[in-house]
A and B are shown apart, each in its own frame.
Chain A
Amino acid sequence: MAGTLLLSAAYSVLVAALYAYIGHRIGRRRIEGPARMAQRAFVAWWYALGAGSLLAALRIVLYDADHLPVWLYEAVGQVSLLLTLVALWGLLYYLIYLYTGSERVLAPLTVFYALFYVALLLLLLWVGSPERITDNGWSLQVEPEPDLPSIVVVLFLVFLVGPQIGASVAFIRLAFRLEGRTQKYRAGVVGTSILVWFGLTLIVGAVASALKLDLAGNVVWQVVSRLIGLAAATMILMAYLPPAWIKRRLGVSSIEDET
Protein backbone atom coordinates (compact mmCIF):
# COMPACT_ATOMS: atom_id res chain seq x y z
CA MET A 1 0.00 0.00 0.00
CA ALA A 2 1.25 3.49 -0.81
CA GLY A 3 2.24 5.36 2.35
CA THR A 4 -0.20 8.17 1.70
CA LEU A 5 -3.06 5.76 1.09
CA LEU A 6 -2.24 4.02 4.36
CA LEU A 7 -2.20 7.41 6.03
CA SER A 8 -5.64 8.12 4.58
CA ALA A 9 -7.00 4.83 5.89
CA ALA A 10 -5.46 5.42 9.33
CA TYR A 11 -6.90 8.93 9.39
CA SER A 12 -10.35 7.58 8.55
CA VAL A 13 -10.14 5.00 11.32
CA LEU A 14 -9.02 7.61 13.84
CA VAL A 15 -11.77 10.02 12.89
CA ALA A 16 -14.32 7.17 12.97
CA ALA A 17 -13.21 6.29 16.49
CA LEU A 18 -13.56 9.94 17.59
CA TYR A 19 -17.08 10.21 16.13
CA ALA A 20 -18.19 6.92 17.61
CA TYR A 21 -16.85 7.94 21.02
CA ILE A 22 -18.67 11.28 20.91
CA GLY A 23 -21.89 9.49 19.89
CA HIS A 24 -21.43 6.96 22.68
CA ARG A 25 -20.93 9.67 25.32
CA ILE A 26 -23.91 11.72 24.12
CA GLY A 27 -26.06 8.58 24.00
CA ARG A 28 -25.30 7.85 27.65
CA ARG A 29 -27.09 10.97 28.84
CA ARG A 30 -30.35 10.18 30.58
CA ILE A 31 -33.09 12.04 28.71
CA GLU A 32 -36.80 11.32 29.02
CA GLY A 33 -39.81 12.49 27.04
CA PRO A 34 -39.90 13.86 23.50
CA ALA A 35 -36.30 15.13 23.70
CA ARG A 36 -35.20 11.50 23.77
CA MET A 37 -35.85 11.09 20.05
CA ALA A 38 -33.84 14.22 19.27
CA GLN A 39 -30.97 12.89 21.36
CA ARG A 40 -31.12 9.57 19.48
CA ALA A 41 -31.08 11.44 16.18
CA PHE A 42 -27.98 13.36 17.27
CA VAL A 43 -26.31 10.11 18.34
CA ALA A 44 -27.25 8.66 14.94
CA TRP A 45 -25.46 11.59 13.27
CA TRP A 46 -22.20 10.80 15.10
CA TYR A 47 -22.43 7.02 14.69
CA ALA A 48 -23.33 7.32 11.01
CA LEU A 49 -20.42 9.69 10.41
CA GLY A 50 -18.12 7.27 12.23
CA ALA A 51 -19.41 4.27 10.31
CA GLY A 52 -19.04 6.14 7.00
CA SER A 53 -15.45 7.03 7.85
CA LEU A 54 -14.73 3.42 8.82
CA LEU A 55 -16.17 2.19 5.52
CA ALA A 56 -13.88 4.60 3.67
CA ALA A 57 -10.92 3.02 5.47
CA LEU A 58 -12.24 -0.47 4.79
CA ARG A 59 -12.53 0.29 1.08
CA ILE A 60 -8.91 1.42 0.96
CA VAL A 61 -7.73 -1.69 2.81
CA LEU A 62 -9.73 -4.00 0.50
CA TYR A 63 -8.39 -2.13 -2.52
CA ASP A 64 -4.84 -2.54 -1.29
CA ALA A 65 -5.40 -6.24 -0.67
CA ASP A 66 -6.74 -6.49 -4.19
CA HIS A 67 -10.08 -7.67 -2.85
CA LEU A 68 -12.20 -4.78 -4.05
CA PRO A 69 -14.12 -5.71 -7.17
CA VAL A 70 -16.21 -3.00 -8.80
CA TRP A 71 -19.49 -4.46 -7.46
CA LEU A 72 -18.16 -4.39 -3.88
CA TYR A 73 -16.86 -0.85 -4.35
CA GLU A 74 -20.32 0.17 -5.52
CA ALA A 75 -22.09 -1.71 -2.73
CA VAL A 76 -19.90 -0.09 -0.06
CA GLY A 77 -20.51 3.25 -1.77
CA GLN A 78 -24.27 2.74 -1.56
CA VAL A 79 -24.05 1.90 2.14
CA SER A 80 -21.84 4.98 2.68
CA LEU A 81 -24.41 7.10 0.92
CA LEU A 82 -27.12 5.69 3.17
CA LEU A 83 -25.00 6.45 6.23
CA THR A 84 -24.45 10.02 5.02
CA LEU A 85 -28.18 10.53 4.63
CA VAL A 86 -28.89 8.96 8.03
CA ALA A 87 -26.31 11.33 9.52
CA LEU A 88 -27.90 14.36 7.85
CA TRP A 89 -31.39 13.25 8.86
CA GLY A 90 -30.22 12.91 12.47
CA LEU A 91 -28.47 16.27 12.54
CA LEU A 92 -31.38 18.12 10.96
CA TYR A 93 -34.03 16.55 13.18
CA TYR A 94 -31.92 17.26 16.26
CA LEU A 95 -31.51 20.92 15.34
CA ILE A 96 -35.11 21.43 14.26
CA TYR A 97 -36.33 19.93 17.52
CA LEU A 98 -33.86 22.03 19.48
CA TYR A 99 -35.10 25.20 17.82
CA THR A 100 -38.82 24.51 17.62
CA GLY A 101 -39.57 21.81 20.19
CA SER A 102 -41.81 20.21 17.59
CA GLU A 103 -41.69 16.52 16.77
CA ARG A 104 -43.96 16.89 13.76
CA VAL A 105 -41.06 17.24 11.35
CA LEU A 106 -39.77 13.73 12.11
CA ALA A 107 -42.03 11.82 9.69
CA PRO A 108 -41.72 14.22 6.71
CA LEU A 109 -37.95 14.48 7.20
CA THR A 110 -37.63 10.69 7.27
CA VAL A 111 -39.75 10.34 4.14
CA PHE A 112 -37.73 13.06 2.39
CA TYR A 113 -34.37 11.40 3.08
CA ALA A 114 -35.74 7.96 2.17
CA LEU A 115 -36.92 9.36 -1.19
CA PHE A 116 -33.62 11.21 -1.59
CA TYR A 117 -31.74 7.95 -1.12
CA VAL A 118 -33.90 6.19 -3.69
CA ALA A 119 -33.30 9.09 -6.10
CA LEU A 120 -29.55 8.83 -5.59
CA LEU A 121 -29.62 5.06 -6.17
CA LEU A 122 -31.54 5.64 -9.40
CA LEU A 123 -28.96 8.26 -10.39
CA LEU A 124 -26.16 5.79 -9.76
CA LEU A 125 -28.03 3.23 -11.86
CA TRP A 126 -28.38 5.77 -14.64
CA VAL A 127 -24.68 6.68 -14.48
CA GLY A 128 -23.73 3.04 -14.75
CA SER A 129 -20.86 1.02 -13.30
CA PRO A 130 -17.24 2.12 -13.68
CA GLU A 131 -14.77 -0.11 -15.51
CA ARG A 132 -12.07 -0.16 -12.89
CA ILE A 133 -10.95 1.29 -9.56
CA THR A 134 -7.70 3.21 -9.23
CA ASP A 135 -6.21 5.60 -6.69
CA ASN A 136 -4.56 8.99 -6.71
CA GLY A 137 -2.25 8.21 -3.85
CA TRP A 138 -4.68 9.58 -1.23
CA SER A 139 -8.07 8.21 -2.11
CA LEU A 140 -9.81 5.79 -4.44
CA GLN A 141 -11.31 6.85 -7.71
CA VAL A 142 -13.07 5.19 -10.59
CA GLU A 143 -12.44 5.14 -14.30
CA PRO A 144 -14.03 6.42 -16.34
CA GLU A 145 -15.24 9.26 -14.05
CA PRO A 146 -19.02 9.65 -14.21
CA ASP A 147 -20.06 12.51 -16.45
CA LEU A 148 -22.87 14.09 -14.44
CA PRO A 149 -24.84 17.13 -15.62
CA SER A 150 -23.79 20.22 -13.65
CA ILE A 151 -27.32 20.72 -12.27
CA VAL A 152 -27.14 17.26 -10.70
CA VAL A 153 -23.78 18.10 -9.12
CA VAL A 154 -25.16 21.38 -7.75
CA LEU A 155 -28.25 19.66 -6.33
CA PHE A 156 -26.05 16.94 -4.86
CA LEU A 157 -23.93 19.54 -3.09
CA VAL A 158 -26.91 21.58 -1.93
CA PHE A 159 -28.61 18.58 -0.35
CA LEU A 160 -25.52 16.86 1.03
CA VAL A 161 -23.33 19.74 2.19
CA GLY A 162 -25.91 22.51 2.55
CA PRO A 163 -27.62 21.05 5.64
CA GLN A 164 -24.30 20.75 7.42
CA ILE A 165 -23.37 24.34 6.69
CA GLY A 166 -26.87 25.46 7.76
CA ALA A 167 -26.63 23.33 10.88
CA SER A 168 -23.27 24.81 11.85
CA VAL A 169 -24.69 28.33 11.49
CA ALA A 170 -27.68 27.26 13.60
CA PHE A 171 -25.30 25.97 16.29
CA ILE A 172 -23.34 29.21 16.31
CA ARG A 173 -26.57 31.23 16.56
CA LEU A 174 -27.57 29.11 19.54
CA ALA A 175 -24.29 29.95 21.24
CA PHE A 176 -25.39 33.60 21.26
CA ARG A 177 -28.95 32.83 22.38
CA LEU A 178 -28.24 30.47 25.25
CA GLU A 179 -27.35 31.57 28.75
CA GLY A 180 -25.61 28.60 30.33
CA ARG A 181 -21.82 28.73 29.94
CA THR A 182 -21.52 25.05 29.08
CA GLN A 183 -24.27 25.19 26.44
CA LYS A 184 -22.81 28.35 24.91
CA TYR A 185 -19.37 26.79 24.80
CA ARG A 186 -20.53 23.51 23.28
CA ALA A 187 -22.81 25.12 20.69
CA GLY A 188 -20.07 27.58 19.72
CA VAL A 189 -17.29 25.01 19.44
CA VAL A 190 -19.38 22.38 17.63
CA GLY A 191 -20.85 24.97 15.22
CA THR A 192 -17.50 26.58 14.43
CA SER A 193 -15.79 23.21 13.95
CA ILE A 194 -18.42 21.96 11.51
CA LEU A 195 -18.45 25.29 9.68
CA VAL A 196 -14.67 25.41 9.27
CA TRP A 197 -14.54 21.76 8.28
CA PHE A 198 -17.30 21.59 5.68
CA GLY A 199 -17.29 25.27 4.76
CA LEU A 200 -13.58 25.33 3.99
CA THR A 201 -13.83 22.10 2.02
CA LEU A 202 -16.70 23.56 0.01
CA ILE A 203 -14.98 26.89 -0.64
CA VAL A 204 -11.64 25.34 -1.61
CA GLY A 205 -13.45 22.84 -3.83
CA ALA A 206 -15.38 25.62 -5.56
CA VAL A 207 -12.25 27.75 -6.04
CA ALA A 208 -10.28 24.78 -7.38
CA SER A 209 -13.10 23.95 -9.77
CA ALA A 210 -13.21 27.54 -11.02
CA LEU A 211 -9.43 27.62 -11.49
CA LYS A 212 -9.43 24.08 -12.93
CA LEU A 213 -6.95 22.85 -10.28
CA ASP A 214 -6.48 19.15 -9.59
CA LEU A 215 -7.08 18.94 -5.84
CA ALA A 216 -7.18 15.15 -5.79
CA GLY A 217 -3.50 14.99 -6.69
CA ASN A 218 -2.43 18.00 -4.64
CA VAL A 219 -0.37 16.77 -1.70
CA VAL A 220 -0.65 19.99 0.29
CA TRP A 221 -4.43 20.05 0.08
CA GLN A 222 -4.73 16.36 0.85
CA VAL A 223 -2.68 16.82 4.02
CA VAL A 224 -4.26 20.14 5.02
CA SER A 225 -7.84 18.91 4.47
CA ARG A 226 -7.20 15.88 6.66
CA LEU A 227 -5.59 18.02 9.33
CA ILE A 228 -8.63 20.29 9.26
CA GLY A 229 -10.93 17.28 9.58
CA LEU A 230 -8.88 15.88 12.46
CA ALA A 231 -8.71 19.24 14.22
CA ALA A 232 -12.48 19.71 13.83
CA ALA A 233 -13.19 16.24 15.23
CA THR A 234 -10.81 16.87 18.15
CA MET A 235 -12.43 20.23 18.84
CA ILE A 236 -15.87 18.61 18.86
CA LEU A 237 -14.60 15.99 21.28
CA MET A 238 -13.24 18.79 23.47
CA ALA A 239 -16.58 20.54 23.31
CA TYR A 240 -18.16 17.61 25.13
CA LEU A 241 -15.13 16.44 27.10
CA PRO A 242 -13.11 19.58 27.74
CA PRO A 243 -9.73 19.17 29.41
CA ALA A 244 -9.42 20.33 33.01
CA TRP A 245 -7.79 23.65 32.11
CA ILE A 246 -10.64 24.62 29.79
CA LYS A 247 -13.19 23.60 32.42
CA ARG A 248 -11.42 25.77 34.99
CA ARG A 249 -10.80 28.73 32.71
CA LEU A 250 -14.22 28.89 31.03
CA GLY A 251 -16.29 27.51 33.89
CA VAL A 252 -17.82 24.78 31.73
CA SER A 253 -18.65 21.19 32.54
CA SER A 254 -17.96 17.91 30.81
CA ILE A 255 -20.61 15.56 29.49
CA GLU A 256 -19.12 13.05 31.95
CA ASP A 257 -20.41 15.20 34.80
CA GLU A 258 -23.95 14.89 33.43
CA THR A 259 -24.18 11.13 32.86
Chain B
Amino acid sequence: MTDLAGGRCGTGIPGLDTMLTGGFMRGDANLVAGSPGTGKTTLGLHFIVAGIKAGEPGVFVTFEYLPQQIYRDALRRGWDLRKWEEEGRLRLLCTTPDVLLAETKPGRTILDEAVEEVGARRLVIDSMSHFEFVDQEEKRLREAISGLMNHLRLQDVTTIVTHEIPEIVGPAVRISNYGLEFLVDSVILLRYVELEGELQKAINVVKFRGGDHDRRYRRVHLGSDGMRIEDDFSGVENISGGSARRSVAQRAKELI
Protein backbone atom coordinates (compact mmCIF):
# COMPACT_ATOMS: atom_id res chain seq x y z
CA MET B 1 0.00 0.00 0.00
CA THR B 2 1.47 3.33 -0.96
CA ASP B 3 -1.10 6.01 -0.39
CA LEU B 4 -2.08 5.70 3.21
CA ALA B 5 -4.15 8.82 3.70
CA GLY B 6 -5.89 11.49 1.66
CA GLY B 7 -3.47 14.11 0.44
CA ARG B 8 -0.54 11.93 1.29
CA CYS B 9 1.92 10.27 -1.00
CA GLY B 10 3.37 6.95 0.17
CA THR B 11 7.12 6.54 -0.02
CA GLY B 12 7.06 2.80 -0.70
CA ILE B 13 8.84 2.21 2.60
CA PRO B 14 6.21 1.32 5.22
CA GLY B 15 8.40 2.32 8.17
CA LEU B 16 9.10 5.74 6.65
CA ASP B 17 5.40 6.29 5.92
CA THR B 18 4.75 5.60 9.59
CA MET B 19 7.42 8.13 10.56
CA LEU B 20 5.71 10.65 8.29
CA THR B 21 2.27 9.72 9.64
CA GLY B 22 1.12 8.60 6.22
CA GLY B 23 3.72 9.69 3.69
CA PHE B 24 4.80 12.94 2.07
CA MET B 25 2.27 15.72 1.54
CA ARG B 26 1.10 15.53 -2.03
CA GLY B 27 2.73 18.14 -4.24
CA ASP B 28 5.48 18.95 -1.72
CA ALA B 29 9.20 19.16 -2.38
CA ASN B 30 11.13 16.91 -0.04
CA LEU B 31 14.82 16.71 0.67
CA VAL B 32 16.65 13.50 1.50
CA ALA B 33 20.13 14.42 2.68
CA GLY B 34 22.74 11.94 3.74
CA SER B 35 26.27 10.67 3.80
CA PRO B 36 27.54 8.57 0.88
CA GLY B 37 26.08 5.06 0.83
CA THR B 38 23.29 5.67 3.31
CA GLY B 39 20.52 4.96 0.80
CA LYS B 40 19.45 8.28 -0.71
CA THR B 41 19.15 6.89 -4.25
CA THR B 42 17.48 3.72 -2.99
CA LEU B 43 14.91 5.78 -1.10
CA GLY B 44 14.27 7.79 -4.26
CA LEU B 45 13.80 4.61 -6.29
CA HIS B 46 11.39 3.21 -3.68
CA PHE B 47 9.37 6.41 -4.00
CA ILE B 48 9.24 6.22 -7.80
CA VAL B 49 8.44 2.48 -7.85
CA ALA B 50 5.67 2.90 -5.26
CA GLY B 51 4.16 5.60 -7.47
CA ILE B 52 4.30 3.47 -10.63
CA LYS B 53 2.67 0.56 -8.80
CA ALA B 54 -0.07 2.95 -7.61
CA GLY B 55 -0.68 4.27 -11.11
CA GLU B 56 1.35 7.46 -10.67
CA PRO B 57 4.04 7.80 -13.34
CA GLY B 58 7.38 9.22 -12.34
CA VAL B 59 10.55 10.87 -13.56
CA PHE B 60 13.93 9.96 -12.13
CA VAL B 61 16.68 12.49 -12.84
CA THR B 62 20.23 11.41 -12.17
CA PHE B 63 23.42 13.45 -12.37
CA GLU B 64 25.56 10.66 -11.00
CA TYR B 65 24.76 7.36 -12.63
CA LEU B 66 24.47 6.03 -16.14
CA PRO B 67 21.00 4.66 -17.00
CA GLN B 68 22.49 1.14 -17.25
CA GLN B 69 23.66 1.34 -13.64
CA ILE B 70 20.26 2.45 -12.44
CA TYR B 71 18.48 -0.29 -14.46
CA ARG B 72 20.87 -2.92 -13.12
CA ASP B 73 20.66 -1.88 -9.46
CA ALA B 74 16.87 -1.58 -9.61
CA LEU B 75 16.50 -4.96 -11.31
CA ARG B 76 18.41 -6.57 -8.44
CA ARG B 77 15.55 -5.44 -6.24
CA GLY B 78 12.96 -6.74 -8.65
CA TRP B 79 12.12 -3.40 -10.25
CA ASP B 80 12.17 -3.51 -14.03
CA LEU B 81 12.59 0.20 -14.79
CA ARG B 82 13.35 -0.42 -18.47
CA LYS B 83 10.01 -2.13 -18.93
CA TRP B 84 8.16 0.67 -17.13
CA GLU B 85 9.98 3.19 -19.31
CA GLU B 86 8.87 1.35 -22.42
CA GLU B 87 5.33 1.38 -21.07
CA GLY B 88 5.52 5.16 -20.67
CA ARG B 89 5.15 5.06 -16.89
CA LEU B 90 8.69 6.24 -16.15
CA ARG B 91 11.28 8.56 -17.63
CA LEU B 92 14.88 8.22 -16.60
CA LEU B 93 16.85 11.39 -17.29
CA CYS B 94 20.60 11.20 -17.17
CA THR B 95 21.77 14.79 -17.48
CA THR B 96 23.60 17.70 -15.85
CA PRO B 97 22.30 20.57 -13.69
CA ASP B 98 23.07 23.15 -16.41
CA VAL B 99 21.00 21.25 -18.96
CA LEU B 100 18.18 20.78 -16.46
CA LEU B 101 17.92 24.50 -15.78
CA ALA B 102 18.31 25.54 -19.44
CA GLU B 103 15.10 26.21 -21.33
CA THR B 104 14.51 24.19 -24.49
CA LYS B 105 11.60 26.47 -25.41
CA PRO B 106 10.56 29.67 -23.61
CA GLY B 107 9.30 28.65 -20.14
CA ARG B 108 10.04 24.95 -20.71
CA THR B 109 12.97 22.84 -19.63
CA ILE B 110 13.96 19.28 -20.41
CA LEU B 111 12.43 18.37 -17.06
CA ASP B 112 9.07 19.94 -17.95
CA GLU B 113 9.03 17.91 -21.14
CA ALA B 114 9.75 14.66 -19.31
CA VAL B 115 7.08 15.36 -16.67
CA GLU B 116 4.54 16.18 -19.35
CA GLU B 117 5.51 13.22 -21.52
CA VAL B 118 4.64 10.56 -18.93
CA GLY B 119 2.15 12.64 -16.92
CA ALA B 120 4.43 12.34 -13.93
CA ARG B 121 3.06 12.79 -10.42
CA ARG B 122 6.34 11.92 -8.80
CA LEU B 123 9.85 13.18 -9.39
CA VAL B 124 13.26 12.38 -7.98
CA ILE B 125 16.34 14.53 -8.60
CA ASP B 126 19.50 12.71 -7.57
CA SER B 127 21.45 14.62 -6.44
CA MET B 128 21.21 18.36 -5.88
CA SER B 129 24.82 18.40 -4.64
CA HIS B 130 25.83 18.76 -8.29
CA PHE B 131 24.17 22.19 -8.42
CA GLU B 132 26.98 23.44 -6.19
CA PHE B 133 29.33 22.97 -9.14
CA VAL B 134 27.16 25.10 -11.42
CA ASP B 135 28.92 28.34 -12.30
CA GLN B 136 26.47 30.58 -10.45
CA GLU B 137 26.79 32.65 -7.31
CA GLU B 138 24.97 31.27 -4.25
CA LYS B 139 22.15 33.86 -4.31
CA ARG B 140 21.29 33.24 -7.96
CA LEU B 141 21.54 29.49 -7.51
CA ARG B 142 19.20 29.65 -4.51
CA GLU B 143 16.71 31.66 -6.58
CA ALA B 144 16.92 29.17 -9.44
CA ILE B 145 16.35 26.17 -7.13
CA SER B 146 13.56 27.98 -5.30
CA GLY B 147 11.92 28.69 -8.66
CA LEU B 148 12.25 25.05 -9.68
CA MET B 149 10.67 23.83 -6.41
CA ASN B 150 7.74 26.23 -6.74
CA HIS B 151 7.29 25.30 -10.39
CA LEU B 152 7.02 21.61 -9.46
CA ARG B 153 4.60 22.36 -6.62
CA LEU B 154 2.34 24.20 -9.04
CA GLN B 155 2.38 21.17 -11.34
CA ASP B 156 1.21 19.01 -8.40
CA VAL B 157 4.30 16.84 -8.68
CA THR B 158 5.54 15.37 -5.42
CA THR B 159 9.31 15.65 -5.49
CA ILE B 160 12.25 14.14 -3.70
CA VAL B 161 15.59 15.83 -4.13
CA THR B 162 18.66 14.25 -2.63
CA HIS B 163 21.76 15.98 -1.35
CA GLU B 164 25.05 14.63 -0.12
CA ILE B 165 26.49 15.29 3.30
CA PRO B 166 30.23 14.72 2.89
CA GLU B 167 30.87 13.86 6.55
CA ILE B 168 30.70 10.11 7.17
CA VAL B 169 30.24 10.54 10.93
CA GLY B 170 30.13 13.51 13.24
CA PRO B 171 27.74 16.44 13.46
CA ALA B 172 26.49 17.88 10.17
CA VAL B 173 26.64 21.65 10.50
CA ARG B 174 24.62 22.31 7.36
CA ILE B 175 23.38 20.43 4.35
CA SER B 176 23.99 22.69 1.38
CA ASN B 177 25.85 25.92 0.66
CA TYR B 178 22.77 27.56 -0.80
CA GLY B 179 20.25 26.69 1.92
CA LEU B 180 18.40 23.92 0.10
CA GLU B 181 16.97 22.72 3.41
CA PHE B 182 15.03 26.00 3.68
CA LEU B 183 13.55 25.72 0.20
CA VAL B 184 11.86 22.36 0.69
CA ASP B 185 8.84 21.25 2.71
CA SER B 186 10.43 18.33 4.48
CA VAL B 187 13.93 17.21 5.33
CA ILE B 188 14.92 13.60 5.93
CA LEU B 189 18.39 12.92 7.21
CA LEU B 190 20.27 9.67 6.55
CA ARG B 191 23.39 9.35 8.67
CA TYR B 192 25.98 6.89 9.81
CA VAL B 193 26.02 6.37 13.54
CA GLU B 194 29.08 4.93 15.22
CA LEU B 195 27.79 2.74 17.99
CA GLU B 196 30.10 0.50 19.98
CA GLY B 197 32.61 0.11 17.18
CA GLU B 198 30.06 -0.43 14.43
CA LEU B 199 28.78 1.95 11.76
CA GLN B 200 25.02 1.77 11.61
CA LYS B 201 22.68 3.67 9.30
CA ALA B 202 20.10 5.95 10.86
CA ILE B 203 17.17 7.96 9.52
CA ASN B 204 15.53 11.00 11.06
CA VAL B 205 12.74 13.29 9.89
CA VAL B 206 14.16 16.72 10.68
CA LYS B 207 11.42 18.85 9.19
CA PHE B 208 7.92 18.07 7.95
CA ARG B 209 5.88 21.11 7.06
CA GLY B 210 2.18 20.85 7.78
CA GLY B 211 2.19 17.52 9.55
CA ASP B 212 3.23 15.68 12.66
CA HIS B 213 6.12 13.27 12.39
CA ASP B 214 8.25 10.81 14.32
CA ARG B 215 11.18 12.71 15.81
CA ARG B 216 13.20 9.66 16.77
CA TYR B 217 16.26 8.34 14.98
CA ARG B 218 15.58 4.89 13.59
CA ARG B 219 17.85 2.20 12.25
CA VAL B 220 17.95 1.70 8.49
CA HIS B 221 18.60 -1.62 6.79
CA LEU B 222 19.66 -1.70 3.15
CA GLY B 223 19.35 -5.12 1.61
CA SER B 224 18.43 -6.92 -1.58
CA ASP B 225 14.80 -5.96 -1.00
CA GLY B 226 15.70 -2.28 -0.71
CA MET B 227 15.37 -0.05 2.33
CA ARG B 228 13.74 -1.09 5.56
CA ILE B 229 13.19 1.09 8.62
CA GLU B 230 13.84 -0.74 11.86
CA ASP B 231 13.64 0.05 15.56
CA ASP B 232 14.62 3.31 17.17
CA PHE B 233 17.82 3.94 19.07
CA SER B 234 16.16 3.89 22.47
CA GLY B 235 18.65 4.06 25.29
CA VAL B 236 21.23 5.62 22.97
CA GLU B 237 22.38 9.21 23.18
CA ASN B 238 24.45 11.62 21.03
CA ILE B 239 23.30 10.16 17.71
CA SER B 240 23.32 13.52 15.95
CA GLY B 241 26.92 13.94 17.09
CA GLY B 242 27.74 10.87 15.02
CA SER B 243 29.45 9.05 17.87
CA ALA B 244 26.48 7.55 19.63
CA ARG B 245 26.64 5.76 22.90
CA ARG B 246 24.17 4.09 25.12
CA SER B 247 22.62 6.33 27.75
CA VAL B 248 23.61 6.28 31.41
CA ALA B 249 20.33 4.59 32.27
CA GLN B 250 20.99 1.86 29.73
CA ARG B 251 24.54 1.29 30.96
CA ALA B 252 23.34 1.33 34.57
CA LYS B 253 20.93 -1.51 33.80
CA GLU B 254 23.90 -3.70 32.97
CA LEU B 255 26.45 -2.40 35.40
CA ILE B 256 24.73 -1.42 38.64
Enumerate chain A interface residues (CB-CB to B < 8 A).
Answer: 29, 31, 33-35, 38-39, 42, 94, 97-102, 174, 177-180, 182-183, 186-187, 190
Interface 0/1 of B179-196, CB less than 8 Å to A = 000000000000000001
Q: List 7 A-B contacts (CB under 8 A).
A: A34-B196, A34-B197, A100-B245, A101-B237, A101-B247, A174-B252, A183-B252
Query: Which residues in B have their C-beta under 8 angstroms from that of A178?
Result: 248-249, 252, 256
Partner of A35, one of B197, B247, B249, B255: B255
Min Cβ gap B95→A in Å is 47
Chain B contacts for A97, CB-based, 8 A: 251, 255
Residues of chain B with a CB closer than 8 A to A39's CB: 254-255
B140 interface residue (CB < 8 Å to A): no
The B232-256 residues at the A interface (CB cut-off 8 A) are 237, 245-249, 251-256
B256 contacts which chain A residues (CB < 8 A)? 98, 174, 178, 182-183, 186-187, 190
B253 touches A180 (CB 8 A): yes
In the assembled complex, the CB of A178 is this many whole angstroms from the nearest CB of chain B, namely 5
Size bracket of the B interface: 10 to 19
A187 vs B197: C-alpha distance when bound (angstroms): 28
A33–B250 Cα distance when bound, in Å, is 13
Q: Which residues of B contact A33 (CB under 8 A)?
A: 196
Q: Which of A31, A102, A182 contacts B245 (CB 8 A)?
A: A102
Interface of A is mostly: helix
Query: Which of A177, A179, A183, A186 has the most chain B CB within a 10 Å cutoff?
Result: A183
Q: Contact at B255–A174, with CB atoms within 8 Å?
A: no
Q: Are B252 and A94 in contact (CB under 8 A)?
A: no
Residues of B within 8 A of A183 (CB): 249, 252-253, 256
Which residue of the partner chain, among A98, A100, A179, contacts B255 with CB atoms under 8 Å?
A98
Pair A101/B251 contact, Cβ less than 8 Å: yes
Q: Indicate if the CB atoms of A31 and B253 lie closer than 8 Å.
A: no
- Chain B 3-26, CB-CB to A under 8 Å as 1, else 0, gives 000000000000000000000000
Q: A101-B246, A102-B245 are in contact. Are A31 and B254 (CB under 8 A)?
A: yes
B61-86 interface bits toward A, Cβ cutoff 8 Å, 1 = contact, 0 = none: 00000000000000000000000000
| Contact assessment for B196 and A180 in the assembled complex, using a CB-CB cutoff below 8 Å | no
Distance from A176 Cβ to chain B, minimum over Cβ atoms (Å): 11
Q: Which 10 A-B pairs have the closest CB atoms?
A: A101-B245, A183-B256, A183-B252, A186-B256, A35-B254, A178-B252, A31-B254, A98-B251, A187-B256, A98-B255
Contact status A42-B248, CB under 8 Å: no
Which A residues lie within 8 Å of B254 (CB)? 29, 31, 35, 39
Which chain B residues lie closer than 8 Å to A34 at the CB level? 196-197
Residues of B within 8 A of A182 (CB): 256
Residues of B within 8 A of A102 (CB): 245
- Do B252 and A42 have beta carbons less than 8 Å apart? no
Given contacts A101-B245, A101-B246, A102-B245, contact A35 B252 (CB under 8 A): no
Q: How far is the CA of A250 from the CA of B222 in the complex (A)?
A: 45
**Given the complex of chains A and B, what is the CA–CA distance between A16 and B188 in angstroms?**
57
Question: Nearest B residue to A177 by beta-carbon distance?
Answer: B248
Picked from B196, B197, B246, B248, the residue with its CB within 8 Å of the CB of A174 is: B248
Query: Nearest Cβ in chain A — how far from B165, in angstroms?
Result: 25
A34-B197, A42-B255, A97-B251 given; 20 more Cβ-contact pairs under 8 Å: A29-B254, A31-B254, A31-B255, A38-B255, A39-B255, A94-B255, A97-B255, A98-B248, A98-B251, A98-B252, A101-B237, A101-B245, A101-B251, A102-B245, A177-B248, A178-B252, A180-B249, A180-B253, A183-B249, A190-B256
Closest to A26 in B: B255
Q: Which one of B249, B252, B256 has the highest number of Cβ atoms from chain A below 10 Å of its Cβ? A: B256
Cβ contact within 8 Å between B249 and A177:
yes
* Contacting pair A180 B252 (CB below 8 A): yes
Specify the chain A residue showing the minimal Cβ separation from B251. A98
Residue of A nearest to B238 (CB): A101
What are the residues of chain A within 8 A of B246 when measuring CB–CB?
101
Distance in Å from the Cβ of A31 to the closest Cβ of chain B? 5
